[in-house]
Amino acid sequence: MYNCHRSDRSIDFSHQLLLPASYPHSVFAIIVNHNSFFFLFYPVFQGEKMWGILSQKLGAARGLSSQVVGNYVLRLRLAPSAMPMRHYSSATKEMTVRDALNSALDEEMAADPNVFVMGEEVGEYQGAYKITKGLLDKYGPERVVDTPITEAGFAGIGVGSAYHGLRPVIEFMTFNFSMQAIDHIINSAAKSNYMSAGQINVPIVFRGPNGPAAGVGAQHSQCYGAWYGSVPGLKVLVPYSSEDARGLLKAAIRDPDPVVFLENELLYGETFPISAEALDSSFCLPIGKAKIEREGKDITITAFSKMVGYALKAAEILEKEGINAEVINLRSIRPLDRATINASVRKTNRLVTVEEGFPQHGVGAEICATVVEDSFGYLDAPVERIAGADVPTPYAANLERMAFPQIEDIVRAAKRACYRSVPMAASA
Amino acid sequence: MASSCFSKSKTIIMRNLKSKNFFMLGFINHTYSITNLQFPRHLLHTISSPPLPVSNYASSSPYNYSIAFSRCFASVYGGRRLNTATSVRNSVDQLSTEAPLQQDLDFPGGRVKFTPKPVFTSSSTEERTPCYRVLNDNGQPILDGDSVKISKELAVKMYTNMVTLQVMDTIFYEAQRQGRISFYLTTIGEEAINIASAAALNYNDFVFPQYREPGVLLWRGFTLQDFADQCFGNKNDNGKGRQMPIHYGSRKHNYFTVASTVGTQIPHAVGAAYSLKMEKQDACTVTYFGDGGSSTGDFHAALNFAAVMEVPVIFFCRNNGWAISTPINDQLRSDGIVVRGKAYGVPSIRVDGNDALAIYSAVHKARKMAIEEQTPVLIEALTYRAGHHSTSDDSTKYRPVDEIERWRGDQNPLKRFRKWIETKGWWSDEAESEHRNGIRKQLSQAIQAAERVEKPPISDIFNDVYDIPSKNLTEQEAFLRRTIQKHAQDYPSNVPM
């Protein structure tokens, strides 16, 4: 969910109410923690007023024009067909990403007694973001371990236990804190199988929220996809929907190699429809396969994590302008599904990459190089690369908004790749 | 009735608070507790002729005032019970003797005694933690010593392994100087630590070494040829030529592959110990590190965690006085590393690192403790790094040559242990020279053989990155092989396919 605030475009005050622009992150955390559903706003505003506004918006949501970009967040929150108030419905099943992760962890811990969870606040506190809710009660303190504040310490201990045959799931409160433990992730986990000549493998999963949230400042907002994506020996996964979250986390836990599992804090509360197949406890997604979320023929847009939602919205806007966009949900940064990306580019001949991380040496740079290496002759236009601004993330809501890609940025880039004229400057 | 008394006293207290007369307040409450039924109005006016407590208050420090003050409230409000005659007497006594009325308090973590004096704990101790030793400098057992008795076979095996280690180090070091291997790191001066600690462990105790513990691997059966193959990085190398020399590792021998990172093995050992604890195995993990390694963040996190998680791990610190060129005084200012164990709640012992028997006993006991009580144990062995840090180092540049010579000579652990086994009649000069010559011959053969063996094949570049090779790597390998076939004349002949 993104900060919404007054901009040059007309955004009515109701939006302002629903989406507190400059609430400190801690308030969000508290709200989120006490209500694992969608009720981000509930404790803050009186119920009826909000529902009234919501139902108005619901009606309007279906046919919203592209100008009303201010409430894109609202549209994100409203899942394709249903009211986002319950995560179960009679027709299609729905699930929040948080519940998807929780259920995946629960099922894997039940299936394999070697799987255990370790991290700060994962036990008694039920998880800093409530992903591990209920696990302590169910599996006990031996399998849900609350740790002292030392990422280097518990990452190292997790790696050591994995050396000896356990299957730890190490939670970082955010991946920004993983920098304290990065030596263990890379030198002790990623490289171990190779350096020991196959004698010691490390079936460990490092998971936690990655990238920006809302108003949490520079030290809590960095995206580590490119950092971990460059290390041989690691696998790096980036789920978007609940189905992604379930399938990829299960695959990660079952995988004999170390996996870095980059979630997104703002997606935790998002509800997605989920198939019966995905709800099965043996459900698993393949690692290294991207998903084509939306088929198209004019331009390829690659994205991962939260940006997939933005790309889909952008694609809807582009559709009205006669540009049929294909949206690829990467799902896996390492190994990168070069085949799918290239096949798509060979079909559409144009590419826009979207990511929230810093532009230099980013995931988009790698995708661009991949396409140039494998499908240069098929490109009709230079690859457009959209990334976060090359600055440490500012806190002020208006500045933060400018520091990360917005839907209109994706739309503009797509138009540029299609040689349509677009206004160059981004508006605030 | 009682409540009315209480409320009356409350009024009185309020009135007195306004007048800021603590002295009066204490007095009033004291008298109230005596009477218990009616408020003795007349006593309000008898300040000038107070009973015993008052003179105490008058002469006491402000500190005592506040104790009395708080206590007064306690007697009135706390418990909301009527003061019986006995409690009256108690409160009188307490007020009169000025004793601290609360000796300790139940803070999170346990009861803590109070003290009225702001004394800081000293940064250094006058007396350092004593060092456990069994043999004196001349190899004779110290009287009234307490140690594990070892058999002749074990003693001889220990000594011969120490000699093998020393000879191996010398010859490999020379091989590096001759340019035959790229790098080497000796264990000179720490042979007792290596062999004696290994001897006291079981083969299923998982070892997490730093890099100065090849003796543990030697004890467990790694052959001289295995060592040579790793140093030369050839096809027979257990490590498939992936690592620098001395980065030995063997799953078979429960010896985790040496990593160049300093101190990272310490939390690994704790994690593996946690795994052992969950499996309830009769085994522990052991991790070695130096005085320098004890400064890393990993050391502190690991010790703290191990104590909290109650896992069977032995932390073995080889305090050899030097971390490359950093002497111990520039490394730390605590009483060595042994005192750090106490800080983290880990039972610790300091041991003479050049005394093989002391190390054997200490590790034996530590292992028993770790497994039976499921506790971490810290052992600090005081020793000296008699060699250079590695072949990339010349330690005469930063420390006096005579210091090195002294430790290499009289103080070296082999000498002391040899004296002991010779007095027992288990060893002799002939046995010594026979053993040394034998090892030297074996080693030169091993080195020559290792030099001749082929290097690892190119498939070993691409496998083991992941459990199953990723697509891009298999593609790259296929591409490489096609290129080699196409340009066979440009491909180096000594690299097998």
pTM to 2 decimal places: 0.77
Q: Is B240–A198 a contact, with Cβ atoms under 8 angstroms apart?
A: yes
- How do beta strands B322-323 and B326-327 pair? antiparallel
Q: Please tell me the distance from the alpha carbon of residue A316 to that of residue A327, in angstroms, as a whole number.
A: 11
Q: Is B275–A256 a contact, with Cβ atoms under 8 angstroms apart?
A: no
Query: What is the rounded radius of gyration, in angstroms, for the C-alpha atoms of chain A?
Result: 21
- How do beta strands A325-329 and A291-294 pair? antiparallel
Q: Can you give the pLDDT of all 497 residues of chain B as single tens digits?
A: 444 444 454 444 445 445 444 444 444 444 444 444 444 454 444 444 444 444 444 444 444 444 444 444 444 443 444 444 444 444 444 455 555 567 788 888 889 988 899 999 887 767 899 999 999 999 999 988 889 999 999 999 999 999 999 999 999 999 999 999 999 999 999 999 999 999 999 999 999 999 999 999 999 999 999 999 999 999 999 889 999 999 999 999 999 999 999 999 999 999 999 999 999 989 999 999 999 999 999 999 999 999 999 999 999 999 999 999 999 999 999 999 999 999 999 999 999 999 999 999 999 999 999 999 999 999 999 999 999 999 999 999 999 999 999 999 888 999 999 999 999 999 999 999 999 999 999 999 999 999 999 999 988 999 999 999 998 999 999 999 999 999 989 888 877 88
Q: Please tell me the distance from the alpha carbon of residue A266 to that of residue A324, in angstroms, as a whole number.
A: 28
pLDDT tens digit sequence for A388-427: 999 999 999 999 999 999 999 999 999 999 998 777 665 5
Q: Please tell me the distance from the alpha carbon of residue B294 to that of residue B336, in angstroms, as a whole number.
A: 10
Choose among B273, B464, B471: nearest Cβ to A335. Answer: B471
Nearest CA-CA partner of B272 in B366, B342, B204: B204
Relative orientation angle of helices B62-77 and B22-35, to the nearest 10 degrees: 40
Q: Is B464–A154 a contact, with Cβ atoms under 8 angstroms apart?
A: no
Element (H, E) at A302: strand A299-303
Structure tokens at B37: 């039924």
Distance of CA B16 to the CA centre of its chain: 59
Residue of B nearest to A235 (CA): B466
Q: Which residues of B touch A147 (CB under 8 A)?
A: 305
Is B174 a residue of the active site?
A: yes
Q: Which amino acid is at B317?
A: C
For residue A38, the 8-state DSSP code is S
Q: Which of A220, A243, A356, A400 is catalytic?
A: A220
Give me chain A's average pLDDT, please. 84
Structure tokens at B364: 């034996």
pLDDT tens digit sequence for B16-29: 445 444 444 444 44
Q: Is A160–B309 a contact, with Cβ atoms under 8 angstroms apart?
A: no
Q: Which residues of B touch A192 (CB under 8 A)?
A: 257
Q: How many CB atoms lie within 10 A of CB B313?
A: 36
Q: Please tell me the distance from the alpha carbon of residue A399 to that of residue A393, in angstroms, as a whole number.
A: 8
Q: Bridge partners of A334? A: A236
User: Is residue A140 over pLDDT 60?
Assistant: yes
- The answer, for A33 touching chain B at a CB cutoff of 8 Å, is no
- The answer, for A187 touching chain B at a CB cutoff of 8 Å, is yes
Q: How many CB atoms lie within 10 A of CB B136?
A: 16
Q: Please tell me the distance from the alpha carbon of residue A15 to that of residue B403, in angstroms, as a whole number.
A: 77
Q: Which residue has the tokens 């991790």?
A: B287
- The answer, for A153 touching chain B at a CB cutoff of 8 Å, is yes
Minimal CA separation from B267 to chain A, in Å: 5
Choose among A150, A164, A197: nearest Cβ to B464. Answer: A197
pLDDT tens digit sequence for A11-38: 334 433 333 444 444 444 343 344 444 4
Taking phi first (over 0 means left), then psi (-120 to 50 degrees means alpha), and beta for anything else, what does residue B145 get?
beta
Q: What is the ipTM of this complex?
A: 0.73
Q: Which of B260, B275, B428, B470 is catalytic?
A: B260
Q: Is B264–A200 a contact, with Cβ atoms under 8 angstroms apart?
A: no
Q: Is B271–A163 a contact, with Cβ atoms under 8 angstroms apart?
A: yes
Residue of B nearest to A149 (CA): B301
Structure tokens at A24: 């400190």
Q: Which amino acid is at B210?
A: Q
Return the HEC string of chain B. Answer: CHHHHHHHHHHHHHHHHHHCCHHHHHHHHHHHHHHCCCCCHHHHHCCCCCCHHHHHHHHCCHHHHHHHHHHHHHHHHHHHCCCCHHHHHHHHHHHHHCCCCCCEEEECCEEEECCCCCCCCCCCCCCCCCCECCECCCCCECCCCCCCCCCHHHHHHHHHHHHHHHHHHHHHHHHHHCCCCCCCCCCCCCHHHHHHHHHHCCCCCEEECCCCCHHHHHHHCCCHHHHHHHHHCCCCCCCCCCCCCCCCCECCCCECCCCCCCCCHHHHHHHHHHHHHHHCCCCCEEEEEECCHHHCHHHHHHHHHHHHHCCCEEEEEEECCEECCEEHHHHCCCCCCHHHHHHHCCCEEEEECCCHHHHHHHHHHHHHHHHHHCCCEEEEEECCCCCCCCCCCCHHHCCCHHHHHHHHCCCCHHHHHHHHHHHCCCCCHHHHHHHHHHHHHHHHHHHHHHHHCCCCCCHHHHCCCCCCCCHHHHHHHHHHHHHHHHCHHHCCCCCCC
Q: Which residues of A touch B463 (CB under 8 A)?
A: 198
Q: Please tell me the distance from the alpha carbon of residue B469 to that of residue A258, in angstroms, as a whole number.
A: 14
Q: Bridge partners of A339? A: none
Q: Bridge partners of A299? A: A325
Minimal CA separation from A274 to chain B, in Å: 29
Q: What average pLDDT score do residues A239-257 get?
A: 97
Residue of B nearest to A338 (CA): B472
Is B300 a residue of the active site?
A: no
For chain B, the distance separating the N- and C-terminal CA atoms, rounded to the nearest angstrom, is 102
Q: Which residues of B touch A196 (CB under 8 A)?
A: 239, 242, 249, 251, 256-257, 464
pLDDT tens digit sequence for A173-227: 999 999 999 999 999 999 999 999 999 999 999 999 999 999 999 999 999 999 9
Choose among A116, A160, A201: nearest Cβ to B269. Answer: A160
On the CB side of B7, CA atoms within 13 Å amount to: 3
| Cis amide prior to A335 (ω within 30 degrees) | yes
Choose among B242, B259, B305: nearest Cβ to A197. Answer: B242
CB contacts < 8 A, A to B, total 151
Minimal CA separation from B312 to chain A, in Å: 13
Which site among B204, B465, B473 would you substitute to test the A interface, given the most A Cβ atoms closer than 10 Å to its Cβ? Answer: B465
- The answer, for A1 touching chain B at a CB cutoff of 8 Å, is no
Q: Which residues of A touch B266 (CB under 8 A)?
A: 156
- The answer, for A235 touching chain B at a CB cutoff of 8 Å, is yes
Minimal CA separation from B74 to chain A, in Å: 35
Is A87 a residue of the active site?
A: no
Choose among B267, B308, B463: nearest Cβ to A160. Answer: B267
Q: Are B275 and A202 in contact (CB under 8 A)?
A: no
For residue A220, the 8-state DSSP code is G
Is A243 a residue of the active site?
A: no
Q: Are B408 and B377 in contact (CB under 8 A)?
A: no
Which site among A196, A332, A373 would you substitute to test the B interface, given the most B Cβ atoms closer than 10 Å to its Cβ? Answer: A196
